[in-house]
Amino acid sequence: MKPKRGGDRIARLQYWTGEYALQGTAALTALVLVVLFYYPVGTVLANGLFGSVEGTNPVLAVLGSEFYLGAASGLTDPSAVPGGVLDWMRAGFPAVDFGLIGFTVYQALLSTLASLALGLPGAYLLAQYDFPGRETVRSLTMLPFVLPSIMVAIGFVAMFGDQGVLNGFLGWVGLESVSVMYTLQLVVLAHAFYNAPLVTRIVGAAWAGLDRSKIETARGLGAGPIRAFLDVTLPQLGPAILAGALLTFLFTFMSFPIVLALGGLELATVEVWLYARVQQLELAQAAGLAVVETVITLSLTYAALRYESGQRGLGRGPNRKPLFGSLRDPRRLGLLGYGLVVTIVFLGPILSMVLESLTGPGGLTLDHYAFLLERQATGASYQVRPLPAIRNSLLFGLAALGLAVPMGVTVAILEDSRFPGSRVLGTLLMAPLAVSGIVLGLGLLQGLVFGTELFGHRITVTGPVAIVAAHAVAAYPFVTRTVSPMLQRVDHRVVETARVLGASRARARFDVELPLVIPGIVAGAALAYAISVGEFDSTIILAEGSSSYTMPVAVERYLGNRTLGPATAMGTVLLGITAISFVVIDRVGGWWEP
C-alpha cells in the first residue's frame, strides 16, 4: 500500500500523516502535559509528600487527623486499632464518623446516583426515539456544563428556595411547600444538574453505536425485551455508564462553590477545605490534603479503567421510534414524566437566571443589557468588556477543541493497544480529570506564572497560548472517555482484514477504525469545547492582566454590590452563544458521520 515513487503528492502526504499522526500527537500530548500539568501539579504534590507542617509530614498530618478521617484516622497507628475497635463495640456500635473525607465521598456517591437516575433516561430517550428537534436537544445537553457555578446557585435559589418559583407553583395548585434550602438534597440536585447531561451525552453516544444485530438475535431466540436489555444491551453500555459515573463522581468529589452556595459550610467538602488553606497561604497543609485527595481520585480512575472494557462488535445504530404516538404505551408515559422532571430541574434554574437578567426593582427592564453595551462602548482597558470576552471564549474554545481532539483520540488509541503497564499509563494520562482545579491552579501559579529557573533563565508561562493549552489539558480526557469505549467495541476482524490486505497498523487505524468511532469523536469534541468555554480557574490565573479574559470571567466580574443584573445578563449572553455553538459543532460533526 506504500505509494510508489513519483506517485501523487497528496496521496503521499496522506500516507505519511496516517503513518506518523499517532507518534506526532503523542509527542505533542506529552509536551503539553508535562509543561502545563505534570510539572505544576508535581511541585504541589511534592510539597505535600516531602514538606512539613509544624514538624510533621503534611500527608501524615492529614491521615492522623480525626477531623479529616474520623474513625479511620486511627489507622496511622495500627497498634491502636484493636483497642479502638473494642472501645467502639463496648460503646454499643455507635454510628461511625469518617470525617471530612468520609463526608465528601458520601456526598459524591449520592450525587453520582442522582446524576445517573436523571441522565440515563435521557440517553434512552435520545437513542431510541425520534422527535422534531431531537438533534438540537442532543446538542444542547451540554449547556448546563458551561454555566458558571455562581449562576447555577442563583438559579437554584430562585427555583427551589423556600420563596422560590417551585413553592409558588405548589402553593398555587394547593400543595404543601417543600423546604430544601441549605440541605444536602439541594446540593445533590445541583450536582445532578451539572452531571446528568454528561451521563446522557456519553451513554447516548455509546447507545447510538450499539450493535443492534445481537439484540435482534437475542429477541429472535425468544428473549423478552427486558431480558434482551439486561443480557445484551446493558453489558454493551456498561463501559459508557461506568465512564459517566466515574466522571460524575470525580467532579462531585471535587465540588466546591456549589457546596458553599447552596449547602453552607456545614456541608463542607475536601475541596472547600483545600481552597481555604490556599487562601490562608498554608500551602504545606494544602499540599498534604491535595496528595490525599489525588490518591483517592486517581485510584478511582484506575479502578474504573480496569473495568471499562466492553464486548466487541460493529455497531449499526438503533432504529428510532417516533416519540409522539400512542400514549397507551407505558414507556411513553414514563418519558412524559421524565420530561416534566427535566423541565423543573434543568429549565427551571436556567429560566430563573434569564428572568433575573430581565428584572429590575421596577419590573421588567433591559437596563442590564444596556449596561453591557455601555461597558463595551466606554469600558477602560483595566475593565472587562463583553465583546472581547465573547471573542476570546469562541477562539479559545475552537483552539482547545483543535488540540484536545487529536490528544484525546491518541490517548484512546494508546489505551486500546494493551501492553504491560498500559493501565497505569492510561490512569496517568487521565490524571487531569482526577486532579482538582485548586491544586492545578496553585501549581500553575507557583510553577509557571511566578516563573521557574531553567538553565539560568526565568521561564514564565502565561497568555492566550497557555490558556488554550490548559483548556486542552482539561478537555482531552473527555474526548478519550467518549472515544475509548467505542474504540474497544470496534470489531477487530475488520482491522485484521485491512492488515491482511497490506495496510500498516497505523494505516488501518487511520482509515478503518477512526471513521467507525466518529460519533464518539464528535460527542467528545463538543465536550472539549464546553470545558473550554466554561473553564474559569486556570483562565484567570494564566490571563495576563485584564486581557485574554473569557465569558465566565466576565460573568464573575460583573457581579456587583447588591445587583445581580449585569452578571445574569452576561450569563444569558454566554448561554445563548454557547447554545448556538453546540448546535453548530454537532451539525458540522454530523456531516462526517459515515
Partner 1 sequence: MKRRTFVKRVGAAGIAGLAGCAGPDADGRGTTTGTSGGTDELAGTLRVATYEPFVDAPSVSPGAWIKEAFESAYPDATIEWQTPNSGLNHFIQQAQYGDGVEADVYVGLNADDLVRADDELGETELFEPVSADTLSNDDSVIEELRFDPAGRAVPFDTGYISLVYDAGEIDEPRTFEDLIDPEFEDTLLLQNAQTSDPGRAFLLWTIANRGEANYLDYWQALVDNGARILGDWNGSYTAYSNAERPVVVSYSTDQVYAHRNDRDMQRHQIAFLNDQGYAVPEGMARFADAAKPELATAFLEFMLEPRTQSEIAVRNVAFPATTTADPPESFTEYAHRPPETVTHTYDELAGSIDDWVSAWAEQIASG
CB distance 194 to 531 below 8 Å? no
* CB of residue 200 to partner 1, shortest distance in Å: 28
Class of residue 105 by CB neighbours under 10 A (exposed 0-12, middle 13-18, buried 19+): middle
CA distance 119 to 125: 10
Q: Which is nearer to partner 1, 262 or 486 (CB)?
A: 262
Q: What share of the chain is helix, strand, coil (3-state, %, to 5)?
A: 75, 5, 25
Angle at which helices 184-208 and 463-489 cross, to 10°: 60
* CB of residue 453 to partner 1, shortest distance in Å: 10
* CB of residue 38 to partner 1, shortest distance in Å: 19
Q: Which is nearer to partner 1, 261 or 514 (CB)?
A: 261
For residue 49, CA distances in Å to 46, 279, 299 come to 5, 20, 17
List 41, 284, 564, 575, residue binding partner 1 (CB under 8 A): 564
CA distance 199 to 123: 8
List 144, 386, 566, 589, residue binding partner 1 (CB under 8 A): 566
343 binds partner 1 (CB under 8 A): no
540 binds partner 1 (CB under 8 A): yes
CA distance 180 to 164: 11
561 binds partner 1 (CB under 8 A): yes
Detail the DSSP E strand segments found in 104-234: 129-130
* CB of residue 297 to partner 1, shortest distance in Å: 20
Residue the block writes with cell 443584573: 565
Where in 351-380 is the site for partner 1 (CB under 8 A)?
361-362, 371, 375, 380
The cell for 79 is 497498634
Distance from the first to the final alpha carbon of the chain: 23
CB distance 514 to 487 below 8 Å? no
Which region, judged by CB under 8 A, interacts with partner 1, from 247-255, 278-286, 316-324, 585-593?
Answer: 278-286
| Per-residue contact flags (x/-) with partner 1 for residues 382 to 401, judged by CB under 8 A | xxx-----------------
* CB of residue 203 to partner 1, shortest distance in Å: 32
Detail the DSSP E strand segments found in 199-299: none
CB distance 145 to 194 below 8 Å? yes
Q: Which is nearer to partner 1, 198 or 554 (CB)?
A: 554
CB distance 57 to 546 below 8 Å? no
546 binds partner 1 (CB under 8 A): yes
List 150, 188, 440, 525, residue binding partner 1 (CB under 8 A): 150
Q: Which is nearer to partner 1, 272 or 517 (CB)?
A: 272
Amino acid at 271: E
Cα–Cα nearest to 263, from 351, 177, 157, 348: 157
67 binds partner 1 (CB under 8 A): yes
List 261, 292, 296, 467, residue binding partner 1 (CB under 8 A): 261
| Per-residue contact flags (x/-) with partner 1 for residues 176 to 215, judged by CB under 8 A | -----xx---------------------------------
Q: Which is nearer to partner 1, 188 or 413 (CB)?
A: 188
CA distance 434 to 537: 16
Which region, judged by CB under 8 A, interacts with partner 1, from 8-16, 23-31, 326-334, 561-569?
Answer: 561-569
Residue the block writes with cell 427535566: 342
CB distance 453 to 483 below 8 Å? no
CB distance 336 to 138 below 8 Å? no
Which region, judged by CB under 8 A, interacts with partner 1, from 139-147, 387-395, 513-521, 541-549?
Answer: 541-549
CB distance 567 to 356 below 8 Å? no
279 binds partner 1 (CB under 8 A): yes
Dihedral pair phi/psi, residue 377, rounded to 5°: -75, -40
Where in 280-339 is the site for partner 1 (CB under 8 A)?
280-282
List 36, 100, 199, 411, residue binding partner 1 (CB under 8 A): 100
432 binds partner 1 (CB under 8 A): no
List 41, 59, 120, 153, residue binding partner 1 (CB under 8 A): 153
Cα–Cα nearest to 524, from 412, 361, 360, 369: 412
List 154, 180, 412, 498, residue binding partner 1 (CB under 8 A): 154
Residues that bind partner 1 (CB under 8 A): 67, 99-100, 150, 153-154, 157-158, 161-164, 181-182, 257, 260-261, 264-266, 268, 272-273, 275-276, 279-282, 361-362, 371, 375, 380, 382-384, 445-446, 450-451, 458, 540-541, 545-546, 557-567
